[in-house]
Amino acid sequence: MKAEFTAIIEAAPEGGYWAVCPEVPGANGQGETVDEAKNNLKEAIELILEDRREDMMRGLSADAIREKIFIE
């Protein structure tokens, strides 16, 4: 999946950085560097979206239409 998300990164009071994504509630990351915080945030987003997709698919009927859509 290819998508674009916003990463908001702030210095943490105890050192390092915190990162959150406003488009994906619950997605956050932290790291000693900005890049590490962004990478951890990316992993969190991927895990959350994968979990939500699997949860939704469990309830679909066998005759449900499944197609991919693209947003630009």
Q: Reply yes or no on whether the pLDDT at 8 is more than 70.
A: yes
Give, for 29, the enclosing helix (H) or strand (E).
strand 28-31
Q: What is the pLDDT of residue 3?
A: 85
> pLDDT digit string (tens) for 12-66?
999 999 999 999 999 999 999 999 999 999 999 999 999 999 998 898 998 999 8
For residue 62, the one-letter residue type is A
Q: What is the pLDDT of residue 1?
A: 60
Query: Which strands sit side by side in the sheet containing 28-31, from one edge to the other?
Result: 8-11, 17-20, 28-31
Domain ranges of the chain: 8-58
Q: Reply yes or no on whether the pLDDT at 67 is more than 80.
A: yes
Number of H-type helices and E-type strands within the chain: 1, 3
How far is it, in rounded angstroms, from Cα 33 to Cα 49? 25
